[in-house]
Structure 1
Amino acid sequence: MPEVLQAGPLMIRTSWLLLALAAIAGYLLVRWKLNKVGDKGRELPDLIGNAILIILLTWKLSPAIFNPSVLWTNPASLLFVNGSGMGLWLGLGLALVYLEAARRKRGIDRPFLLDTMAYWAGLIAVVYYLFIWQYGKATEWPWGIAVGYSNYRYHPVNLYIVLILLPSYIWMWRKGGRLGSGKLFSHFLTFYGIALLAGSFFRVNDPLWAGLTAEQLLATGMALAGVLAFPQSKEKTS
């Protein structure tokens, strides 16, 4: 996502439009999936939709959140200025707090919520990396992508990620486990972490710690969290 946010206003609008369309598609797919489990999960699509709205609004309003003077010096700029990475993380934190409170209030099991979010987040990730180009290191490989009129070709990092994410998501949707077992969320973290880690080796990034970049540390942490969470999941009837 950082590459896209730095690629100019047009690319930012395109990426967020694609994410919005993917979120809507995910909403419809999850609602269809939950029709098979009775009343237990009927509220989940709406709750997750509210959480996504919290993330988007917090991200969009983050310039005012972290710099309140904008509200009285140039409030109109909030309509055109994009949010920050810190705003995205803040929105994610607020969304998780909201989901946990809503889950408790409605008596929904946490594994059931996490599994449902895995279906949704997986689709959004596949759509994002499939259509938003991310160029990595220069390469002479025949499938390298040229940028503009340059004679150089670059690794299509987003396609490398899709090559892992797409089959993983299809498998997860068909045979990854029952909703509420916790296995779907575990699989999602593991596969997503592996996909990001694989793509990171073709990017140009400075090491942050122990020779690893920030993305590699995050991806490794996600994959390990997914693997460690799996034995703790318990199969439940959905």
Structure 2
Amino acid sequence: MPAQLSWGPFTIQTGLLAVIAAAVAAIFAVRLLSRLYGAAAKEAADYWQNAAFIVMLVWKFGHVLFAPAVVWQRPLALIVMNGGTRELLLAVAAAAVYVLAKIRRGRLPLPLFLDLSAFGAVAAVFVYACIDRETGAATSLPWGLTVSDPEYRYHPVSAYSMIVAAVVAALLWMRRGAAGSGELARIASLYMGAGMLLVSFWDVPAPTYWLLSAFQWRALALAAVGIIFSARVHNKGERS
């Protein structure tokens, strides 16, 4: 995928377009699901929409916090530069603080918010992978993608991510009646974590820390959250 996309005189970075489209898709998905569950769900959707905007803004301009001199030395860089993993983590933390404060003040059920968030996050992953398409490690499989030399093919890891997200989204939609119990968040964290961990083994090799890359550790942690939730649900079922 080219680093930039152009329409006549207009040019936008592919990564930025993917983030914006993913945020819009997440907001739309949360709004869609919230229509099934009354006023509390609509309030949660409002919080989620604001949180999505916070993530976008902090991710885009968060690098100013670490290098404030760029404001007066290279002001145009504020438009051109995007954030990295550091800014993304900061953005998620800022959005989490906002959401927790709102939930605590408005007494919104946390499981309901997590279920709506799970549906929106899966939609965001699907749209992001659809736009910012990437190739992974070399392969001889017939569905491998060629980049410049037709003799070499590479795993379409973005397509794999889209498949994982689509399957999980279907599972969530089939279980949409359980929204508000934390069930959708459990399903999304377990299967998205496991699925993305599987996809990562076909990606371009990255530096490892204790046998796994940073992305693999994050995917494993997400799957572990789902496993913990599943164990709690199982234990409650046995006690009842």
TM-score (norm 2): 0.86
Do structure 1's residue 34 and structure 2's residue 29 form an aligned pair?
no
| Stretch moving more, 113-122 or 42-51 | 42-51
- Distance in 1 (CA, whole Å) between partners of 2:210 and 2:167 is 31
The answer (yes or no) to whether the contact 2:136–2:202 under 8 Å persists in 1 is: yes
Quote the Cα distance in structure 1 between the aligned partners of 2:3 and 2:36.
43
Q: Root-mean-square deviation (CA), in Å?
A: 2.4
Q: After the TM superposition, which residues 1-238 of structure 1 pair with which residues of structure 2 at under 5 Å, given as runs?
A: 8-10=3-5, 13-175=13-175, 178-232=178-232
1:226 and 1:137, CA in 2 relative to 1: closer, same or farther beyond 3 A?
Answer: same
Shift of 1:189: 0.8
Q: Aligned letter for 1:94?
A: A
Report Cα offsets for 1:55-82 as digits up to 9, x if no partner. Answer: 1111221231101112222223212222
Pairwise CA distance, 1:176: 5.5
* AA aligned opposite 1:39: A
8 Å contact from structure 1 (residues 115, 180) kept in 2: yes
Whether the aligned pair in 2 keeps the contact of 1:129 and 1:162 (CA below 8 Å) is yes
The one-letter amino acid of 1:108's match is L
Identity rate of aligned residues, in percent? Answer: 32
Change (3 A) 1:63 1:21: closer
- State the secondary structure of the residue aligned to 2:24: helix
Pairwise CA distance, 1:83 = 2.1
How many residue pairs match? The answer is 230
Q: Summarize deviations over 1:62-107 as a string: whole Å, max 9, x none.
A: 2311011122222232122222321111111000000000111111
Residues 96-123 of structure 1 deviation map (CA, whole Å, 9 limit, x = unaligned)? 0000001111110111111110111111
CA distance in 1, matches of 2:91, 2:122: 19
Stretches of structure 2 that go unaligned for 5 or more consecutive residues are: 7-11
Q: 1:29 to 1:225 in 2, by over 3 A?
A: closer
Q: After TM superposition, give the deviation of residue 182 of structure 1 in Å.
A: 0.6
Give the TM-score taking structure 1 as reference length.
0.86
The whole-number CA distance in structure 2 between the counterparts of 1:25 and 1:9 is 21
Give the partner amino acid of 1:81: M
Deviation at 1:157, TM superposition (A): 1.1
